Amino acid sequence: MQKRDNVTAYLFLSPWLVGLFAITIGPMIASLYLAFTDYNLIEAPAWVGLENFTRMLSDERLHNSLRVTFTYVFVSVPLQLAIALLLAVVLDRGVRGMAFYRSVFYLPSLLGSSVAIAILWRQVFGTEGLLNQVLALVGVEGKGWISDPSTALGTLVVLNVWTFGSPMVIFLAGLRQVPTMYYEAAAVDGAGPLRRFFGITLPLLTPIIFFNLVLQIIHAFQSFTQAFVVSGGSGGPSDSTMFFTLYLYDRGFGNFDMGYASAMAWFLLVVIAIFTGVNFLVSKYWVFYEN
Amino acid sequence: MTRLKALAAVALVSTLLVTSACGGDSGGPAAKDGEVTLRFSWWGSDARTKLTQATIDAFQKEHPNIKIKGEYGEWAGYWDKLATTVAANDAPDVIQMDEKYLREYADRGALLDLKKAGDLKTDKFAPETLSAGEFDGGLYGLNAGINSFAVLANPAVFKAAGVALPDDKTWTWDDYNRIAAEITTKLNGKGWGTGVIGANEAGLNLWARQNGESLWTPDGKVGVSAGQVTKFFEYVLKLRDSKAIPPAEAVTQDMTASLDQTTFATGKLAMGFSWSNQLNAFSKASGQELKLLRIPSTTGQAAKNGSYYKGSMFWSVSSRSKQRAAATQFVDFLANNAAAGNILLAERGVPPNTEIRAAVTPKLQPADAASAKFIEEISKDLGEPSPAPPVGGGQVEKIIQRYTTEVLFGRLAPDKAAQQFLDEVNGELK
């Protein structure tokens, strides 16, 4: 009986399984093979062994793209989570019209990685963009934020931080799980709001913070659309917004070097896996599970 | 009962599989009563898209069994998209091609040899206009128009600044810098003298040619020395320091902006560097009557400014097209049909088909007539033809933009930028 149930289960899963193998696993295996070849998209791939990987060692634009990506991940993710947590705590206190605020704050998360918003960003931070017009009102002379290599990445960080809505909603759900009796007991003992936050809210929320951290880091490593659209596909100015994914795309599709691009994709997978692994290892020391 | 459910599931899955298999076959010919659908891709401004669409309509009227689907976009995204579709074995049948990428695609067998395609007539073409698309004994791109690199001038801005239009037959690079800087000063914040040279590789090529070198050698190597590239970047710095050009951020922004949104098209620049056939698009975008001037030279002699006729773009046919006959027929129409010539005029450059050229010249709109006249006028002062870029050479535009940016922001000194530029270009050649 149970055996037959299993068969039925697999059959019902099969549409998803077909998708997994045809759309995800299949191309992944293909790209693993291509990573060891010289493949220009048009002619048949030729086996070159580890050459693509050794080339990465001396590719300075690749090293630059790693720098850019790491800066982006390590600046934007903590900022984004801090703001998400802060707003979640404020909203959780029972602000009137909370459902409205929750929706409004969540909106950027839905839009943030879209092409439309990236185009909007180009306009807002351009030489004659909205930001400079506002700055001009208060007598400050602006500049071309997205076309200056020293500030272009900053505008992308702001864009990512702005999509704090999705971790915020998860934080809000987490906050609801904190039993109110702890707060009542703490209040009786005379603990102030700050003490209650650091003594109760934060420790009980660590699993949620951890979850958001893992998710957002992976997400940030894979960012592509924003940089692609904002820089007009060039990763510019001067490679200052050349994310690893964007460089991968540039090599693969702009430069007919799909073998190398595949090798880069697998390298990125390893980097993300390492960071996620480290995250899990370190979590033992700071994440607190109630039971 | 469970068995019934299982059966239902199997049925569901097989249906899904069958439908998805059907969905994957969209690239095939939709043959219905001999009807053929061609895909045709091009880049360019709105003005070009309207003209091209009108030409497609004219062709479809003559050939009711051929439907043509246009796919168009901006220059910057065009090449990524083309590479992706070619890789996916889903290339458009007729492709508007650029010199930079012609060998890249042709050498890898992605383009059809038009000589072997049959229906295409080239007997009316001026001979030197065919050679740019010809190599290894085949014709992989048919010249769609002739143009030349030039200085684009906006007389209205000159007038606003109270500066006279210069004599472009005798001006030097120093004159150019001085005039542009003077305009910036006199405009007093309302605009600038010129856009930057170094936003694409054509400027560097002319600079090299004026000094006895050239960007590419005929055998597909880099032909410009570190010394000349350094001087070129030093000149870029000179333009920046004299305020002849807008601030670095505005210059960088222009490099990826669509034509309509560039500082020149919005009437804030007196001069800019451009291809002669873009006079039309810039005129439409700016609403001004613009003028073409010759590129300055080192010696003040226009005949030594290194200019050459370039194939502004080419018509190519995908080697994997299932509709080769129809595709070639369409290319033949674009190149040799008077009706097409009368619609397209000189928007893609002066027609290389001498008969069409003679027929359309009296009908040209002011902007196209001006660029045709410019092309005619410089004919006696042309230098040697410029060798086509080798495979991998298509990257040079993006590379020079990056190093011009580095120089403008003061992040690299001209000599360092020159060396790194050459290293990188050499690295891309295969």
Using H for helix, E for strand and C for coil, what is the string for B138-153? EECCEEEEEECEEEEE
pLDDT-derived band at B6 (thresholds 50, 70, 90) equals very low
Cβ of A239 within 8 Å of Cβ of B402? The answer is: yes
CB-CB under 8 Å, A238 with B398: no
The average pLDDT across B292-297 equals 94
* B interface residues, A as partner, C-beta within 8 Å: 2-3, 5-6, 9-10, 12-13, 16-17, 76-77, 79-80, 83-84, 86-87, 104-105, 108-110, 247-253, 255-257, 392, 395, 398, 401-402, 405-406, 409, 411, 428
C-alpha distance from A80 to closest chain B C-alpha (Å): 28
Q: pLDDT value at position B28?
A: 41
User: Which residue from B6, B392, B395 is facing A11, i.e. has the nearest CB?
Assistant: B6
Q: What angle do CA B313, B318, B322 make, to 5 degrees?
A: 145
**Residue B42 resides in a domain:** yes
| CA–CA dist B304, B307 (Å, integer) | 8
What are the boundaries of each domain within chain A?
60-286
Interface test with B, best of A7, A16, A42 (most B CBs within 10 A): A42
The total number of residues shown for chain B amounts to: 430
Comparing CB atoms, the residue among A12, A41, A238 nearest residue B86 is A41
Q: Could you tell me the CATH number of the domain that includes residue B210?
A: 3.40.190.10
Does B18 score more than 50 pLDDT? no
pTM for this model (two decimals): 0.82
Phi/psi of residue A138, nearest 5 degrees: -95, 15
Contact call for residues B132 and B311 (beta carbons, < 8 A): yes
Query: What is the distance in angstroms between the Cα of A56 and the nearest Cα belonging to chain B?
Result: 14
Residues in CB range of A122: below 8 A, 6 or more apart: A129, A146, A229, A230
Domain count, chain B: 2
Count, residues in chain A: 291
Beta strand residue intervals within B46-116, DSSP E: 66-73, 94-97
For residue B56, name the pLDDT band (cuts at 50, 70, 90). very high
Residue B74 has pLDDT above 90, yes or no: no
Q: How far is CA B30 from CA B22, B38, B117, in A?
A: 13, 10, 22
Residue B227, in any domain of the structure: yes
Strand partners, B73: B43
Residue B119 has pLDDT above 80, yes or no: no
Q: What is the identity of the amino acid at B389?
A: P
Q: Within 13 Å of residue B153, how many CA atoms lie on the same side as its CB?
A: 23
Distance from CA of B338 to the nearest CA of A (A): 36
Identity of the residue in A15, A127, A258 whose CB atom sits nearest the CB atom of B253? A127
Q: Report the residue from B83, B86, B249 with minimal CB separation from A127.
A: B249
Is the predicted pLDDT of residue B14 greater than 50, yes or no?
A: no
Flag whether pLDDT at B31 surpasses 60: no
Same domain, B397 and B261: yes
In this prediction, residue B198 carries a pLDDT of: 87
The secondary structure of A178-223 as a DSSP string is S-HHHHHHHHHTT--HHHHIIIIIHHHHHHHHHHHHHHHHHHHHT-
Return the DSSP state at B166. Answer: P
If asked whether residues B177 and B203 sit together in one domain, one would say yes
Mean pLDDT of chain B: 87
Contact between A42 and B16 using a beta-carbon 8 Å cutoff: no
Lowest-pLDDT range of A77-86, B48-57, B161-170, B300-309:
B300-309
Cα distances (Å, whole numbers) of residue B52 to B48, B258, B361: 6, 19, 18
Q: Which residue has the tokens 């090529």?
A: B205
pLDDT, block means (10 residues), chain A with 291 residues: 81 90 90 92 88 92 94 95 91 80 84 80 83 85 84 90 89 88 88 86 91 92 88 83 93 88 95 93 87 64
Asked whether residue B185 falls in the same domain as residue B294, the answer is yes
How do residues B78-90 score in pLDDT, each as one tens digit? 988 898 898 888 9
Domain A60-286: which topology? MetI-like fold (1.10.3720)
Strand partners, B138: B135
Do B119 and B72 belong to one domain?
yes
Identify the pLDDT of residue A1. 56
Choose from B256, B395, B430 for mutation: most chain A CBs within 10 A.
B256
Same domain, B174 and B111: no
- Which among A10, A51, A62, A147 is the top mutation candidate for probing chain B, defined by the most B β-carbons within 10 Å of its own β-carbon? A147
Q: Which candidate from A14, A234, A255 shows the least CB-CB separation from B256?
A: A234
Indicate if B348 and B209 belong to the same structural domain. no
The distance of A252 to chain B (nearest Cα, Å) reads: 9
For A96, B75, B233, B254, B406, the CA distances from B401, given in Å and listed in that order, are: 53, 15, 11, 11, 9
Residues B281, B222 share a domain: yes
Q: Is the dihedral of CA A228, A231, A233, A237 positive or negative?
A: negative
Check pLDDT > 90 for residue B68: yes
Q: How confident is the model at residue B383 (pLDDT cuts 50, 70, 90)?
A: confident
Tell which wins on pLDDT, B131 or B344: B344
Q: Which residue has the tokens 């091609």?
A: B97
- Per-residue model confidence (pLDDT) at position A109: 81
**Distance (Å, rounded) from C-alpha A222 to C-alpha B112?**
38
φ and ψ at residue B95, rounded to 5 degrees: -125, 130
What region does B273 belong to: left with phi over 0, alpha with psi -120 to 50, or beta?
beta
The whole-number average pLDDT for the span B256-276 is: 90
> Does B246 share its domain with B348?
no
Tens of pLDDT, residues B331-352: 999 999 999 998 988 888 889 9
Residue B378 lies in a domain: no
* Residue pLDDT, tens place only, B366-379: 888 888 889 888 88
pLDDT recorded at residue B29: 44
Nearest CA of chain B to the CA of A131: how many Å? 15
Tokens 């960071």: give the residue: A275
- Boundaries of domain holding B114: 36-144+312-372
Single out the residue of B198, B257, B245 nearest to residue A126, CA to CA: B257
> Is residue B64 domain-shared with residue B80, that is, in the same domain?
yes
Task: Assess whether B132 and B153 both reside in one domain.
Answer: no
Contact B247, B334 (CB under 8 A): no
B333 and B260 co-located in one domain: no
| Same domain membership, residue B422 and residue B405 | yes
